[in-house]
Amino acid sequence: MNDLLFELPLPEFFDFGVCLDYLNRSPLECLYRTDQEGVTRYFNLDNHPVLVRLTVPKGGQLRVTLLYGETPGPEAVAWLARYIREWFDLDRDLAPFYRLAEADPLLGPLTEQHRGLRIVGIPDLFEALCWAILGQQVNLAFAYRLKQQLTAAYGESLEYEGHMYYEFPRPEVFADVQQEELCALQLTRSKARTVLDVAALIASGGLSREELLALPSPDAAEQRLLQIRGIGPWTSQYVRMRCLDDTTALPVGDVGLQNAVKFLTGMDRKPTPAELLKLAEPWRGWEAYATFYLWRALY
């Protein structure tokens, strides 16, 4: 099966190959498979497992084809199209960011090297929060391993042509899970507790992406997230950046951002949060994109 579901128009300053390079940064990624031509991912649509593939034929639009599963209905197709637009930030006009970056000694070379890179989002709030929680105070490789183990244990899966494809676990599946079960997957007790608290909150309707986006400002959304035990400024800023479409998010406590600035500026130490805030003043309105491009200097 290789049925066309739909095509999406592509904005200016979008390079699918550059975005695929970002998606391919870890061999431990478990939620999709990339190759030189596209990315394949599992979704549950209309309560049916489907496998979809995204490609961009030369000079064409973003093509979404169905590899496996029942053809979804119109509402599910509309949901998938919206998800993909948010995944690759396709509705964003990057021209202002590139104009800003051209005059910036740090960002200029990075935007030339990775031109067309979009913030690759995490449109699902539970997945975004979990990924941020798992990444607290560990290196990227170990965070990926934790996500892989959590997803394999609790997510739905599908085998197709010799490969396993997974969907990130849904919050409701953790209703009867105990902390010890998550600790057995190498989560710390505090991370296990926070994952379970967030799962219960989202499953009960006490927290949603829609609610956060409806708040008056990104700062208000952050304050809402900070009310959750185990969610600190770094985690909330990360979620603002990757899930809430906030281009002003600046995770000054992020070790990767600190290391990138140290490396690119030749500093003999990591910059302080105050120094990062000062450095970011010319990036106003585009702090999240600046951060995303600076991360690319590290891998």
So which residues are the catalytic ones?
Answer: 254
**Distance (Å) of CA 199 to CA 21, 128, 203, 204, 258:** 31, 12, 6, 8, 30
CA 122 → CA 85, 128, 163, distances in Å? 11, 6, 23
Q: Apex CA 108: angle with CA 137 and CA 20, to 5°? A: 60
Contact between 167 and 47 under an 8 Å Cβ cutoff? The reply is no
Query: Pairing relation of β-strands 48-55 and 38-45?
Result: antiparallel
Residue type, 177: V
Closest C-alpha to 218, from 290, 288, 295, 278:
288
CA–CA separation, 25 and 129 (whole Å): 20
Say how far apart CA 240 and CA 217 lie, in whole Å: 11
Q: How far apart are CA 42 and CA 58, in angstroms?
A: 24
Q: Which of 20, 61, 22 is nearest to 39 (CA)?
A: 20
Regarding beta strands 3-8 and 62-68, do their DSSP bridges make them parallel or antiparallel, or are they unpaired?
antiparallel
Phi, psi of 75 (to 5 degrees): -65, -40
- Which DSSP string do the residues of 95-143 spell out, in sequence order? HHHHHHHHT-TTHHHHHHHTTT--------HHHHHHHHHHTTTS-HHHH
Task: Report the candidate in 221, 218, 18 with the shortest Cα–Cα distance to residue 119.
Answer: 18
